[in-house]
Amino acid sequence: MTMYVAVLFVHAVAVLVLTAGLSIEAWMLFQLRRATSPSEIRPWTGPVPGLAMASMASLVIVFATGAYLTESLLAWDFAWPRFAVLEIILFVLFGALTGSRLRAVRRLCAAAESNGSELFRRVQSPFLKVSPSIRIWIVVGTTLITAAKPVLGESLGIVVTSLVLGVASAFVPFRRRTMSSTARSNSL
């Protein structure tokens, strides 16, 4: 096995870990938004420190291995690696902002005299709905950029499209099926 292949493998595993952490975070945030009492919020704030550490470690590995792979290909003069780095920076920015908000929610949950209305206001923040969606689409966009290796205009288009799709998909409504709607559809 060559060094390039080994680094590529580590890079792919780090991207998978990052994606898994992001998926867990998105599910956690979905559950937080559904909570109706502080006691329902508390269990979903438990994974916050572990997810943050796994995400940061994965991002560092993704960046370092990606830089090595790009250098091995002598590709820094092209547009696509620079836009991939831009997307990593955007991912870090949205992740850091989300992390600070989740730590505040966790502190409010831990406080015995926690103000329930303040806790729910923070949990229902639209940013906590938009941020994971944007970061998911950033991962998709970065994957496309590194696979297709597009020129400047196409790279910029992928970054912008990732951000637009991230914001737009955050507002796609997910409807719960109730017993009556399930019974109605089964009778048809």
pLDDT at res. 107: 85
Residue 134 · residue 156 · CB < 8 Å: no
pLDDT at 112: 58
pLDDT value of position 36: 84
Phi and psi, residue 150, nearest 5°? -75, 170
DSSP 68-88: HHHHHTT-TTSHHHHHHHHHH
Write down the pLDDT at residue 93: 95
Q: Indicate if the alpha-carbon torsion angle 169, 175, 176, 177 is positive or negative.
A: negative
For the entire predicted model, the pTM comes to 0.83
The pLDDT of residue 105 = 87
What residue has token string 């550490």?
53
Q: d(Cα 12, Cα 21) in Å, to the nearest integer? A: 14
Q: Hey, where are the domains in the chain?
A: 3-173
Mean pLDDT, 10 residues at a time, the chain of 188 residues: 95 95 90 85 81 91 96 94 95 93 85 73 91 95 95 96 95 67 56
